Amino acid sequence: MTRLGDGDRVRLSTGHEVTLPLVTEATVAGAVLPARYDVAESLLPDGLAPVRATARRAAVVLLCVEYHRIGDDAMAPYDEFAVLISATPDGRRPPLLPLLTRNVGGYVWSLPVTTEPARALGDEIWGYPKTVADITHRDDATRRETTVVEDGNRVATVGIDWPRTWERRETVESYAVREGQLERTPIEFQGKLGAAPLSDRVDVDLGNHERADTLRSLDLGTRSVLRFSLEGRITYGAGRPVER
């Protein structure tokens, strides 16, 4: 397995080069929704257990992201739609939310992006399951609406109202399987960060893509546990193996 570390410069299969940690600039609208615990658990790899949004429900995170800059303009800006299952390593008591706090991470279950270089970036460095899709963000002063179409079929349309923001820095972790090894990646958010708990200002309309069928089986709640946003920097460190 190729071990990557902070300070490494990585050449992708597309010819693009990036340096770790990778600093990006982005606008994000996100939501944490309650989901069926048993289905969420079935989507996780060995070594992870779901975080509980309530005593009986897991937590699924939806992220609608518009990247404005990647590293030192290493590639063209792109959009993405992330579906994460909030999780912690096995053997640790899966905590109840709040999410977006230290020691709580998200397993990246699905990550459509709009360009092939963006797909290679996530797959080759962090093992993220990126696919190439059509993603459209429609923003106004109050809301972002994101539509994802892949293989000619709509995956989802997600609408999230912007919460009030303030300057802040937060560090979370993502989990993914790279070259057969479960890894954790530190991710730092810095900028205008907003959060609003227990909100009904999130709408999810699932389409007819097969991935939408899996999302439907999660029975996502109609009231979000947390609605959040970011206008600023997202910094991705090098992944590290999760100790069993």
Q: Where do the domains of the chain lie, and which CATH numbers do they carry?
A: 23-241 (2.40.400.10)
pLDDT of residue 99: 47
What pLDDT was estimated at residue 3?
Answer: 82
Q: Tell me the β-bridge partners of 186.
A: 173
Alpha-helix residue ranges (DSSP H) falling in 48-139: 116-126
d(CA 199, CA 229): 13
The pLDDT score that the predictor gives to residue 92 is: 61
Burial tier of 200 (Cβ tally within 10 Å: 0-12, 13-18, 19+): exposed
Below-70 pLDDT ranges, the chain:
1, 91-104, 244
- Per-residue buried b or exposed e for 141-153, using 16+ beta carbons within 10 Å of the residue's own CB: eeebbbbbbbeee
Q: What are the pLDDT digits (tens) for 48-93?
A: 999 988 889 999 999 999 999 999 999 999 999 999 999 998 756 5
pLDDT of residue 100: 45
Query: DSSP state, 52?
Result: B
Residue 154 pLDDT = 98
Res 2: pLDDT: 76
Query: Using alpha carbons only, how large is the chain's radius of gyration in Å?
Result: 17
The pTM score is: 0.94
pLDDT number for residue 243: 82
